[in-house]
Amino acid sequence: MKIAKRVLALFFALILLFTLAACGSDESKKTDDPGKKTGTVSDDKQDGKEAVKDYSEKMVISFASIQVNDTVDYNYGDELAKWWAETYNIEWDITSLTWDIWAERLRIWINSGDLTDMATWNYLHGEAVTYADQGLVRKLPDDWKSRWPNLAKSYSDAPINEAVEEELGGTYFLCKPIFSVNRPAQKLSPHISVYFRKDWAEAVGFEIKDSYTTNELLELARLMKKNDPGNVGSNFYPLVVSSGFASFLVQFNSTYSLSNVFYKGDDGSYQWGPASNDTLEGLKVYKAFYDEGLLHPEFYTIQDPDDRAALYVTGTSGMFIGEGMAAWMTRIEQNMRDNLGLEYDDAIHAAVVTGNDGKYHCPPVLNYWTSTIFSPDIEDAKLERILDMFDYSCTEEGQLLVRLGFEDVDWKRDESGEIVSLLDIPATEKYKTIHPVYGNMFVLSDDFQFINPGFKKEYRDKVKSMYVLREKLGDDKTMPDVDWTAYFHSSTALNLASLNYAEEYAQLVVKDGNLEENWKAWVNEKMPIIRPVIDELNAKAGN
């Protein structure tokens, strides 16, 4: 079995300070001296004296994960990998898992006692409880938060962590926060936005704003279809998206329509979101796009990236719904320029979408993606070294290292304090090991987009302003907090009630006949598998 090596150190400044002191150097710490090997590392103070971490023993850390690449040397493949390996005296033994075998492979290893030292696991609460109860994954030391405070802070940024910890009576899983050091808003939201041809919208007299209701998008599509400002011709469909992204026309109107579909109603009893009138409202907008020829007629067969390509490669669509992130704005900018000879700022506008009530709707956002688990047989010293690395990676300095490389070699700060890249290529191209081993060490890369010099400041500021606006346009009802009773619920009935709502809504939209009647019939058809879940949740809540 191929596996991965990893170690982790607490405070980078103190690490190199002691290294240089040991060498008799008077120079201050520099991160542009990659590969400096550290055998002892200054940590915290005990009884007024400096405690020293001893990394003189080399450790091999086995690590299984998706996204890692078998062809990359995560130990000495580049200077960044070399820095981590030599600073913390570790060697990765990495096993690459593909998406299709990821869940089942880890399930087998965990239950058979063959889990690697560390693994990336897609958190499933029902399984998590079993693994913890049976001792199949390692519990962290009870005092870990005081020993690794930076890691503890980032851990707390994903509220699922402390909710799970409370239920299990300890920390067994480290769910990785999407936002931590650079959180864009207090109440987070999915980064789903609308992109449309600003030049075409202006040509048909449509107002450019920061947010639109779904009915306003429908009106824009009608104006584009009628006037065809891009001279596309008879096969012009203003909105080209896959069924997955088209389904957001429903969620923009209905908070619990796509995920976290079970919620407490005003009477305190649990309800099923897809059966609400808000969901019907979203379906009406969705069907209007389809029936009026404003949505590509074969949207349910379109796959990524063909949907986006219609906007920025062929120039045959007027809008699409997608990720409202600086990386995507950069990608669209490059494609518009290369394929259509157009500049993003002249031709494209990104905006927030609300329901027709003017409120921003989204289900509870847990601010995490996947978790890190440890083998129950991992040695204490090895676990501690990994947590040292995690802790350093959660500092501002650690994030700059894993995202951009070495200060004064790969990046610097200008006179105003802004980060400036010194590279002609993205740091991820120079250092192939940044993503995913170090880039996903704990805090995820989404967090860094707001200060990443690889993206235009205008795009970074725009994305942040969209998070702030979504929070402003929502309220406690349309942007609710997590209901842990519903989120953690696990049962056979819930498994049987699992539905692909994007596909279900697409089928309702393309179906002949009256939409409201078809929707009511669909709700009645599904209720026999939905009602048992509602009854279970009400029983848990004492209803």
Residue-wise pLDDT tens digits, 183-232: 999 999 998 999 999 999 999 999 999 999 999 999 999 999 999 999 99
pLDDT of residue 52: 65
Residue 33: left (phi > 0), alpha (psi -120 to 50), or beta? beta
Least confident interval from 118-122, 375-379, 431-435, 450-454: 431-435
Distance CA 112, CA 103 (A): 14
Q: Which residue has the higher pLDDT, 259 or 42?
A: 259
Does the structure show a pLDDT above 70 at 392? yes
Angle in degrees, CA 146, 126, 104, rounded to 5: 100
Distance CA 482, CA 103 (A): 25
Distance CA 41, CA 18 (A): 6
DSSP state, residue 295: B
pLDDT of residue 70: 80
User: Three-state SS string across 474-501, please?
Assistant: CCCCCCCCCCHHHHCCCCHHHHHCCCCH
DSSP string, 139-205: PPPTTHHHHSHHHHHHHHTSHHHHHHHHHHTS---EEEESSSTT---SS----EEEEEEHHHHHHTT
Contacts of 303 (CB under 8 A, 6+ apart): 242
The number of beta carbons lying within 10 Å of the beta carbon of residue 40 is 14
pLDDT of residue 72: 87
Considering only CA atoms, which of 162, 192, 191, 167 is closest in space to residue 179? 191
Average pLDDT over residues 307-313: 94
Considering only CA atoms, which of 310, 309, 227, 285 is closest in space to residue 505? 285
What's the pLDDT tens digit per position in 465-509? Answer: 999 999 999 999 999 999 999 999 999 999 999 999 999 999 999
Least confident interval from 113-122, 333-342, 432-441: 432-441
Q: Which residue has the higher pLDDT, 435 or 176?
A: 176
Least confident interval from 27-31, 77-81, 277-281: 27-31
Task: Provide the terminal-to-terminal Cα distance of the chain, rounded to the nearest Å.
Answer: 51
Does the structure show a pLDDT above 70 at 36? no
The number of beta carbons lying within 10 Å of the beta carbon of residue 76 is 13
Does the structure show a pLDDT above 90 at 67? no
Considering only CA atoms, which of 313, 306, 249 is closest in space to residue 283? 249
Instruction: Tokens for 270, please give them.
Output: 């649990």
Class of domain 12-183+367-443: alpha beta
The percentage of the chain sitting over the pLDDT mark of 70, rounded to a whole number, equals 90
pLDDT of residue 303: 87
Tell me the domain boundaries of the chain: 12-183+367-443, 190-364+448-543
Contacts of 116 (CB under 8 A, 6+ apart): 1, 3, 4, 62, 63, 64, 95, 109, 375
Which residue, chain included where needed, has tokens 């978790």?
A: 371
Instruction: Tokens for 263, please give them.
Output: 């919620």
CB 257 within 8 A of CB 519: no
CB 468 within 8 A of CB 208: no
What is the pLDDT of the chain when averaged over all its residues?
Answer: 90
pLDDT of residue 426: 87
Q: How confident is the model at residue 459 (pLDDT cuts 50, 70, 90)?
A: very high
Distance CA 42, CA 52 (A): 5
Of 2.40.50.140, 3.40.190.10, 3.40.50.300, 2.40.37.10, the CATH number of 190-364+448-543 is 3.40.190.10
pLDDT of residue 437: 86
Average pLDDT over residues 113-134: 96
Least confident interval from 33-47, 151-165, 247-261, 433-447: 33-47
pLDDT of residue 51: 56
pLDDT of residue 24: 37
Distance CA 15, CA 55 (A): 11
Check if 12-183+367-443 and 190-364+448-543 are the same fold.
yes
